[in-house]
Structure formats: structure tokens, C-alpha cells
Amino acid sequence: NFEDAWLVELRVAQNLPWKSIADHFQTRFGRRYSVSALQMRFCRMRRRQSTNVCEPDLLALLDAHDYWETKRWHIISEKV
């Protein structure tokens, strides 16, 4: 959905306040969305995304994070 992508772009990438996002939506799509409606929409999108991670993927992500935390300076020093 283009509106959802636009919402993520404005909130995450551009870090705009919710009032500005509501104004952008009215200008771009010609519909007035309340700040609370946009916040709930964003929250639902985030919730859907966060529940799509299966356990093996989550464990692999945690392992990768631990590896990076313990080895990052060694990796960086090899690159310099």
C-alpha cells in the first residue's frame, strides 16, 4: 500500500512529528487523517511486521548480534 509506505517514510526516515505527517497526508492524498488514526495505523503495521519473525530467524539474529558485539573491533581493525 502506497499510503503505508509513505507513512513509514515520513515517520521513520524523515522523523517528522505526527502533526506534520497528518498535513502531508492531506496534501498528498486529499484526505484528512487524524493524528491518532495515523499513529494507530503505524502501530498496527509495526505489530504485523514484528510478528512475522519465526523462531529460527530470531535465534540467528540474536547470534549475529552477539557475534558483532564480541568481534566488531577485531573486524574493524582488520579493515583499517
pLDDT digits (tens, 9 = 90+) for 25-57: 999 999 899 999 999 999 998 888 776 667 788
Count the domains in the chain: 1
How far apart are alpha carbons 26 and 24 in whole angstroms? 5
Question: What pLDDT does residue 52 have?
Answer: 67
What pTM was computed for the model? Answer: 0.60
- For residue 14, give every residue at least 6 positions away whose Cβ sits within 8 Å of its Cβ, in sequence order, or none: none
User: Residue 72 is part of which domain span?
Assistant: 2-79
How far apart are alpha carbons 47 and 35 in whole angstroms? 18
How far apart are alpha carbons 58 and 52 in whole angstroms? 10
- Reduced to 3 states (helix: H, G, I; strand: E, B; else coil), residue 15 is coil
* Stronger pLDDT, 39 or 62, i.e. the higher one: 39
Question: What pLDDT does residue 50 have?
Answer: 72
State the chain's mean pLDDT as an integer.
Answer: 90
